[in-house]
Chain A
Amino acid sequence: MNNLRSPLKITLAVWKALFLREAVTRLSTGRAAWLWLMLEPLIVIIFHLYWYSALHVGSMYGMDIAIWFMLGFSGYFLFTRVGNQCTNAVDANQTLFSYKLVKPVDTVITRACLESFIMTVTISLLLTTLVILGLPIKVADPILAICAWIGLGLLGLGYGLIFSVINELIPEIEKLLKFIMLPLYFLSGVLIPILSIPKPYYDVLMWNPIIHGIEFLRISFSNHYVVAPNLSLVYLYGFSLTSVFFGLALHVKFAKKLVKP
């Protein structure tokens, strides 16, 4: 009775166990699952590179088109993968809640960590490949790169925390969300450079925090890339941290409702 573990120790043990467990399922279910995780962004990038080069677009505002695409897609994938994995975390791990030490929020947080980890490994491998292929890649501002990367991950976590609760409480939202997420792809500056958007629409698009993350990621990789006006790291972090805290608050409030009997 007197050797009860402290709450912090329990939580850390749970996170570690969940992380390893998630890693096993994520990387080992299906044939060569880990390979597909890496190949998916690569294929998407090569596909787009192909038709952009057919249009004779060689660079984008002072950055090589291949690197421009790679950074944009990686950043966007980081957000959506973390977001989607986190959103499904509670539902996928219902069996685990029969151990009262495991709380729904733990599964969301560990999934975010795992997914960011996988994406970080993926982008590192992609960058290395591009360097080997002879592309001139130089990280101009490594700290800014890390900041933008973490900001996008946090954005995914905030999104995941919020919708992991809302989807459980109101399942219909999930279908609606798919429609909303579809155009986000085009509105995040992944395919269409944000600088090519005319003025009134530009200001509206800048409300989207993903754009800030992706643009800063690109800026950090080049000294010559044209910096879009009104970019703000403060906005990116303000938005993502607010959504993380709001998501955590939802988890505290509805913790009991997330566990299905």
Chain B
Amino acid sequence: MIIIDDIYKRYKTKDGPGRWILNGISLTIPSNHNVGIIGKNGAGKSTLLRLIGGVDHPTKGSIQRKTRISWPMGLGSGLQPSLTGRQNAKFICRIYGHESDLIDRIDYIQDFAEIGTAFDEPIRTYSSGMRSRLQFALSLAVNFDVYISDEVTAAGDASFRKKAADAFRNLVGKSSLIMAAHGESTLKEFCKSGIWLHEGKAYWFDDINDALIEYKKSELNHQIDKALSPKLEHQELSGISKEMAEVLQKGLTLLNKGLDGCPERIGHEEGSHAIMAAKEIGMNLANIGVIKNLGFTLLPNKKPLLIKYNPVADQYVELYDVNSQCVKAIASSQ
């Protein structure tokens, strides 16, 4: 279990202290629980991972970790350029107490990294791809309870990415994973829960999908605000037209009510707005199977996001997010 207690972080800049990158974050990450960290560039994902990994210290607050946590895998330093891959590998195995089976671990690293004879060349001669292969192999060679991965799966070529993903799958049950990744599919595959970093605050979601939706909603809101801004240059940068932005805004408002647990009864046109907005944030609104009359809920454990009127059949249809794991589970059990 990792307990993050009200941490703040800012870096020193040339002109004194910089902005608060993390601004009062409290989280408890349970053991054996894979967590994805979501947020836009500069939101503090890497900073948070570095703090959890103990590479850096918070400006204020404390982090308790009574487990063996890896350094942030992937991008980053930690390899001495003048020494060879093998020498670096030996050093790391030694500091983590794998002295007795050093040879086996070195063999494993050499096998996994697949960098051939370069393993006995100085690190400074390595390409960035070779470096990340070696770094990844190094972190897997050491036994940790929690592995911290900062965009690991984004590094290297296709075969390496596949290998990395396979290695993560093998960790399931033995160790847990805290990861930041740009790829949504990677996050969805490996992580159960999510942490959304936004404007220095952290929001915990038990389900990674909810975290992703919340993140994309905030991004879409930002885009809409830009498109509707009176300044012309903002409108051009937003990438969507003003009309589109208005439609999406209406749709989002309806969706938000549904997400808050009070679904709106809406007409056909409003429904199409909501469906468009839902697509933008990675939800897929649809009625599940049979059309039901109002007052009778198809999925008793889950409230619909919207209740749409169908004028042809003169009936109300309940719309759910069919991508949601929860809806999938309930629907398949019926």
Residues of A bordering B, CB below 8 Å: 1, 4-5, 9-10, 13-14, 16-18, 20-21, 24-25, 29, 94-102, 256, 259, 261
Contacts and interface: CB of A to CB of B under 8 A. Distances in A.
B95 A25 contact: no
B95 A102 contact: yes
A25 B77 contact: no
Interface stretch (B53-61, B165-173, B318-326): B53-61
Given A1-B67, A4-B66, A99-B95, A21 B55 contact: no
Contacts of B50: 261
Q: Which 7 pairs, one residue from A and one from B, show the smallest C-beta to C-beta distance?
A: A100-B54, A17-B94, A98-B78, A17-B95, A256-B57, A95-B77, A14-B95
Contacts of A259: 55-57
Contacts of A13: 94-97, 99
B71 interface: yes
B76 interface: yes
A20 B94 contact: yes
Contacts of A29: 82
Contacts of B79: 95
B91 interface: yes
B78 A95 contact: yes
Nearest to A11: B95
Which of B57, B68, B94 has most A Cβ within 10 Å? Answer: B94
A99 B71 contact: yes
Which of B79, B92, B97 has most A Cβ within 10 Å? Answer: B97
A9 B96 CA distance: 10
Given A4-B67, A95-B78, 4 more contacts: A17-B94, A21-B80, A29-B82, A98-B72
Please report whether the interface of chain A is mostly helix, strand, loop or mixed according to DSSP: helix
8 contacts: A4-B66, A10-B97, A13-B96, A21-B87, A25-B82, A98-B76, A98-B77, A100-B55
Which of A4, A21, A99 has most B Cβ within 10 Å? Answer: A99
B188 to A, nearest CB: 27
Given A100-B54, A100-B55, A9 B82 contact: no
Nearest to A92: B80
Contacts of A24: 83, 87
A249 to B, nearest CB: 19
Given A1-B31, A97-B55, A21 B91 contact: yes
B145 interface: yes
B145 A25 contact: no
B83 A25 contact: yes
Interface in B67-111: 67-69, 71-72, 76-80, 82-83, 87, 90-92, 94-97, 99
Contacts of B83: 21, 24-25
Contacts of A16: 94, 99
Nearest to A95: B77
Interface residues of B, number: 31
A168 B149 CA distance: 30
A1 B145 contact: yes
A119 to B, nearest CB: 23
Nearest to B84: A24
Contacts of A97: 55
B20 interface: no
Nearest to B81: A95
B303 to A, nearest CB: 39
Nearest to A14: B95
Contacts of A100: 53-55, 69, 71
Contact of B71 (A4, A21, A98): A98
Interface in B92-141: 92, 94-97, 99
Contacts of B95: 10, 13-14, 17-18, 99, 101-102
Which of B31, B68, B80, B90 has most A Cβ within 10 Å? Answer: B80
A18 B94 CA distance: 9
Contact of B80 (A4, A5, A95): A95
A98 B75 CA distance: 11
A16 B53 CA distance: 23
Contacts of B78: 95-96, 98-99
A259 B12 CA distance: 13
Contacts of A261: 11, 50, 56
Interface in B179-227: none
Contacts of A256: 57
Nearest to B80: A95
Which of A9, A24, A102 has most B Cβ within 10 Å? Answer: A24
A9 B71 contact: no
A175 B324 CA distance: 63
B74 to A, nearest CB: 12
A101 B55 CA distance: 9
B97 A25 contact: no
Given A14-B95, A95-B78, A1 B66 contact: yes
A259 to B, nearest CB: 7
Contacts of B66: 1, 4
Nearest to A15: B95
Contacts of A94: 77
Which of A17, A18, A102 has most B Cβ within 10 Å? Answer: A17
A75 B292 CA distance: 94
A14 to B, nearest CB: 5
